[in-house]
Amino acid sequence: MISERIAEVRENIERAARRSGRTPDQVRLMVVTKEVPIDKMRSAIAAGAVLLGENRVQSAREKVEELGREGLQWHLIGNLQKNKVKYVFDLFDRIDSVDSVALAEAIDKRATQLGVVMPVLLQINISGEESKFGLQPEELEKALDATRDMKGIRVEGFMTIPPMDPDPQHARPYFSALRELRDKYAKMDKNILLNELSMGMSSDYAVAIEEGATLVRVGTSIFGSRSR
């Protein structure tokens, strides 16, 4: 039952938050609905899912057409190509996967034309793996300098995906490294608010919360494994 699994995840979130001296309302649950059919999404929404993560523009469009945007928050969590930027404004409340200054510029340009501000997270490749999208930590200062002047976007924080590893404890150093980066830049520049730390997935969200996650992205623990 999807509702039971969501309840279970919420309990785990609550426990992890309390364990680390935080209150449960400091951690939001993103229900990752990529590759999940509409009927299962409806069950999740009926069970209280509000914040939804999709990784592709095209599939998000089909789902937004079915489910609407009212009462829901749609976030893009997958790689966005610049030629698709024009579509995101009708679909998403935030782009959580901005992985280059060039992409930030493209979103800013379109947003400015539309007269809106698009909230974003910068995706950081904290492990430096070649296969991963994201800004390298060394690029971050320049990226923040560049995005600070963009009127069409608002950087709300960072997102990361640590290396795949069955042992969640192995993800801990990556999570704490992201938190330290956030703290460093939040301190350096009082004009930017870097509140959000999106980190932790089904296998490791409890550890991520212990390390300061404000948003965890959970798919498999709610919907079961995605068939490939």
Closest CA to 118 of 136, 103, 132, 133: 103
Q: What angle do CA 102, 97, 71 make, to 5 degrees?
A: 125
Span near ligand PLP by CB under 6 A; candidates 61-69, 169-177, 186-194, 201-209: 201-209
Interface with ligand PLP, residue 94, by CB under 6 A: no
Query: Which of 27, 32, 36, 126 touches ligand PLP by CB under 6 A?
Result: 32
- Piece in contact with ligand PLP (CB under 6 A), picked from 12-20, 126-134, 171-179, 215-223: 215-223
Residue pair 138/125 in contact (Cβ under 8 Å)? The answer is no
Taking the least distance from each CB to ligand PLP, the nearer of 5 and 217 is 217
Asked if residue 34 binds ligand PLP (CB under 6 A), the reply is yes
Residue 161 interacting with ligand PLP (CB under 6 A):
yes
Long-range contacts of 59-66 (CB under 8 A, 24+ apart): 59/34, 59/35, 60/91, 60/92, 61/87, 61/91, 63/33, 63/38, 64/90, 64/91, 66/38
Q: CA–CA separation, 155 vs 194, rounded Å?
A: 7
Instruction: Tell me which stretch binds ligand PLP (CB under 6 A): 1-9, 19-27, 111-119, 217-225.
Output: 217-225
Stretch that binds ligand PLP, among 67-75, 100-108, 131-139, 195-203 (CB under 6 A): 195-203
Residue ranges in contact with ligand PLP by CB under 6 A:
32, 34, 55, 77-78, 161, 201-203, 217-221
